[in-house]
Every structure is written in structure tokens, then in C-alpha cells.
Structure 1
Amino acid sequence: MGLDTPTKKPHDRLSEMLNHDMAGVNALIRERMASKHAPRIPEVTAHLVEAGGKRLRPMLTLASARLCGYDGPFHVHLAATVEFIHTATLLHDDVVDESSQRRGRPTANLLWDNKSSVLVGDYLFARAFQLMVEPGDLRVLDILSSAAATIAEGEVLQLTAAQNLKTTEEIYLQVVRGKTAALFSAATEVGGVIAGVDEDLVQALYTYGDALGIAFQIADDLLDYQGDANATGKNVGDDFRERKLTLPVIKAIAAADDTERAFWKRTIEKGDQRDGDLEQALALLNRHGALENTRDDALEWAETAKVAMRAMPTSEMRDVLVDLADFVVARLY
């Protein structure tokens, strides 16, 4: 399914199917982001929460629970938990990355300050933990709290790996699991746990979320080098200019000769970038097939997600989730 396909995109179809549940999630988010004593908290949170975005992560929790036949109230709490964790990490990420824009709008740290962003992020993490306790399921608490720890661990790992030419594909995968896949897999897994389905189905949901998150991030990293800026909202080569060691560059470095390695050391490790360096980087990526191999990796992870989802009972919801796995890599065709 291509981006220009006239049929509705999977996340839009998912949104329609989960419209009632998402209304409950949004109401709960508004209720729990309130603060009687610190009005800056809802101000900062509302700026980010109401900025748009697909709300894919909470929808994955709702979809997984519904897919497993859950008819109780707590999937809404868990979906709100997932969104609070995600929002908290975005607030912290923008401070760490010194970002000035997110989703086309000024970041909270730019509109307010770094202290407000960090502290409001902390508040949202605390609210997330309050929400995840309410279903009274220790396994749910374990899954979501572990995901929060993995996210933080991944961010710290990225600090040390981002400009280190010794970074391997294995380390890259650890970073990706931290920054993206951990919350995807937790979002899907808790849907099955709260529904009380058999362990093989819970594992299938975990595998789906993990593989979907990895495919999503690899595709995003690849599009930085060959995407359409109008479609992606990023300029080609932004990751290169920001000296980020993403999968295409890691693959090119692994195949590099001494001269090429010296180029990567100067541009990525030392940050000494000159006119024509992006073009040279693209030439090296193409020379070693790094872009094509990265695309193959993304497609393979998407296939893993689809296979995992096929273990679930047949339904329209399952079909949409399978289509979603195709959609995250459709940008690469």
C-alpha cells in the first residue's frame, strides 16, 4: 500500500474503529494532566498532547485488548498510561536534543524553558505510574515499568553510541528498542495481558509491537537519506548533519576501507563537515549497498510483525494491524 493510495491509511482506519475508546482515553488524559497547584503542568502538557499526532501507541493498546475480546474498562487506563510515557519522553528528548520544533510547532523547552520541560515530563511519568497501578495487575505494572526503564536506558546508550564509529548493528538495535520499539511492544503486550488470553497470544502481541517499532525506526532512519522532504518533514541528510550514526551509516562503515573510514571519522566523530560531504556520504552509502540493505532489514522486520499478528484470531482489527506493518515500510518503495 503506497502513501498515495486512495483508500484510508491503516492508522486512520484504526482510529475510526477505536473512536469511542479513544474518546475515553482523551478524556482521561485531560483529567489526569490537570494540576491544582501548578498550572504550568497542564499548560506544557496540553501544548504537546494537543499538537496532533496519530496517537498510534495508545491505539495499539486499545486494538490489542479488543482483538483479544476484552470488554472491561482498564484498556483505556493502559492506553492513557502509554501516551503519558510517550509524551514524557518527548519532553525530555527535546531538552536533550536541544530541539526547537516538533510536529511543526515550537517545542515546550523553547516556549517555556528546559526546567519546565524536564519537571513536567517527570510529572507525566508519575501520572503514568498511578494509571498503570489502577487495573491491579502486577504483570501489567511490570511490563510498563520495564518499558519506561528500557526507554531511559536506550536514551543513555544513544548518548555514547551516536558518534562512535565502533557502534555495531547490535548496539543500534538496542538503541532502537529503547527509543521506539519498547513502548510499541509494551503497548500491544498489555492489551493481551489485561484480556487474560493464552500466553502464546500475549507473546505474539509482544513480537508484533517489537517488530513494528523496529521497522518504523529503521524506515525513518533510511528516509533521512533518500526521502522526500515534503512527505517526511525532514531535510535529506539531517541525521548526517547532526552526526547521528544510524543503520545505513553503520553498514557503510562496516564495509569501509581506510580512506572511507577516515571520512566518517572526520564527519561523524569529529564533526568536521564541509561542502560536498553529504554528497560524498550518499555516494559511499550507495557504493556499499547500505541503503538497499537497510531497506531489506526494514521489510524483514515488517514481515516479522505481520507473521506474529497472523497468530491472532481472524478479524477486521487483525487485518488492519497487518496492513499497518506494511504501511510503515510502504514509504520505502
Structure 2
Amino acid sequence: APAARMIYGNAASIFTGDWLLVEALVRVRRTGLYDVLDRALGVLTEMLDAEALQLDRRGKLDGTVSDYMRVVQGKTASLFRWSLFAGARAGGLDERSCRLLELFGEKLGIAFQVTDDLLDVDGDADKLGKELFGDLREGKATYPLSLVLDRKEGLRAELAAALDKGGVGADLAGRVAVAMRETGAVEDTKKLAESLVNEAEKALSELAGQPNMGDRPALGALSAVASTIAARRK
């Protein structure tokens, strides 16, 4: 389906997004769970800071995996973490259970983003509904790209020169993909995603063992979500 901006234009789409954000915060306030609202505002700050960092780093290929993780923690993991915390608080869970669900959300959020990065370079364009190497062409330093730049001599300088001249062509993008597979960057990215999912499921298992949890269908649903993250292909 076409994006909203393609139908209604950028201005209307941005306005609608702003309205939805305000409406979401109003609904959170109506719950009376003011700690949930406070954390939501904190998450918005984290997301804005991470987006600013990503914009500042765009086109710069001298970043580290640590820089990448700062962006992912702020943009993706923080929202996953808050969503699980909000649900836990609304469900009346105790502090320990809330912390475990936050941990589950954080690990799942990072795994989701790492997998998304991987699909951009090693996915199926038809299934994704978009061209591959979009992040690379925009100068975004993703996890697999950070790995291959550290492992393939001369590639960092070649990519930097291409970005300075206006963009990464299909030939260079193809060679980057080959280098990612040859250096193990693709496989190591898959392993990281799987490890993060395992950590998320460990937190969920610990939660299931908490007193008074009982047989909650939601735990099974969350486990099913976790199991699909690293395996998703679109």
C-alpha cells in the first residue's frame, strides 16, 4: 500500500503524525498511571537524541559499534522497553515483573533493529517491497556495515569517496554485500540477533516463574513474537 505522504503529501502526513503523538500522550495520562506518562516523555527525549546522533553521523563511516548501539538503544529499544513497561503497569504487575518485561522489550527492540539492518543487505527485495542497500545509500552505519568496514581493508575509504561524490552505485553495493558474506559480517549479525532474542526469552522465562503469574496467555504471545524476530524475512 502507498505511504500516507504519497497520497496526502508531506505536510498533511507530518501534521497527522504530530496529532497522533499528542493523542497517544493524552490517552496515557487518562490512565492515571503518571509514572508511565513520565517514562513516555523520557522515551521521546531518548528517541530525539538518538535521531540527532544518527543525523550527525550520516555519511560518516568512522563510527564504532558502540555509536551504532547508542542510536539503536535510543530509537528502537527505548520504545519497545516502554511499551512492555506500560503494559505491565496497566496489568497491575509488581516492580520485579515490570523490570523483567522492560528487559524483554529492550533486548527484543535491539534484535528487531539488527535484523532489519541485515535484511537491508541480505534480504529479498521482492518480499521487503523495497530495494536493498537503502541504509548504505543514505550513509547510515548499520551493524553489519560496521563489522565489514573493520574487517575489509580499503573498503571504508572507497565507500567514503563514493558518498562524497554523491552516492553508492549498484556495483559497489554488490561488492559490499560480497565482502559482508566473506568476512562473516552477515553471519555474525545473525548470531547477535539470535543471542538478543535468547536473552529476551530468558527474561520472559524468569517472569513466568514469578509468584502469582499463573497461566497467562500473554506470556505465550510474547514468546511467539520473540521467536519470529530473528527469523523474519520481511
1:280 and 2:181 aligned: no
Count of aligned pairs between the two proteins: 227
Residue 136 of structure 2 contacts residue 168 of structure 2 at CA under 8 Å; is this kept in 1? no
**Match 1:252 to one of 119, 127, 148:** 148
Q: TM-score, normalised by structure 1?
A: 0.63
Find the aligned partners of 1:295 and 1:267 in 2 and give their Cα distance.
27
For 1:275 and 1:226, how far apart are their aligned partners in 2?
14
Query: Which of residues 214, 225, 232 is equivalent to 1:324?
Result: 225
One-letter code aligned to 1:134: R
Q: Structure 1 331/127 Cα, relative in aligned 2: closer, same or farther at 3 Å? A: closer
Query: Who is 1:123 aligned against?
Result: 19
Question: Tell me, which stretches of 5 or more residues in structure 1 are unaligned?
Answer: 1-103
Mapping 1:10-49, distance limit 5 Å: none
SS in 1 for 2:140: coil
The aligned residue for residue 312 of structure 1 is 207
Amino acid at match of 2:224: D
Residue 159 of structure 1 corresponds to: 55
Asked whether the 8 Å contact 1:266–1:273 carries over to 2, the reply is no
Name which of 172, 175, 186 aligns with 2:68. 172
1:14-46 CA deviation, whole Å, 9 max, x = no partner?
Answer: xxxxxxxxxxxxxxxxxxxxxxxxxxxxxxxxx
In structure 2, C-alpha distance between the alignment counterparts of 1:198 and 1:134, rounded to whole Å: 21
| Map of 1:149 onto structure 2 | 45
More helix, by proportion: 2
Are 2:29 and 1:133 equivalent residues in the alignment? yes
Shift of 1:163: 1.9
Q: Is the 8 A contact 1:253 1:264 kept in 2?
A: no
Amino acid aligned to 1:190: A
1:216, 1:328 within 8 Å by CA — same for their partners in 2?
yes
Deviation at 1:268, TM superposition (A): 4.2
The answer to which of 166-175 and 116-125 deviates more is: 116-125
State the identity %. 30
- C-alpha distance in 1, partners of 2:206/2:232? 26
TM-score normalised according to structure 2 size: 0.88
Report the secondary structure of 1:311's partner residue. helix
C-alpha distance in 1 between matches for 2:44 and 2:10:
21
Q: Residues 270, 296 of structure 1: CA spacing in aligned structure 2 closer, same or farther, 3 A cutoff?
A: farther
Contact 2:60 2:139 in 1 (8 A): no
Q: Which residue of 2 aligns with 1:237?
A: 133
Superposed CA RMSD:
2.0
Question: Per the alignment, do residues 272 and 201 of structure 1 end up closer, same or farther by CA in structure 2, a change over 3 Å counting?
Answer: same
Which amino acid in the other structure matches residue 310 of structure 1? Answer: S
Indicate conservation of the 8 Å contact 1:151/1:182, yes or no.
yes
Who is 2:158 aligned against?
263
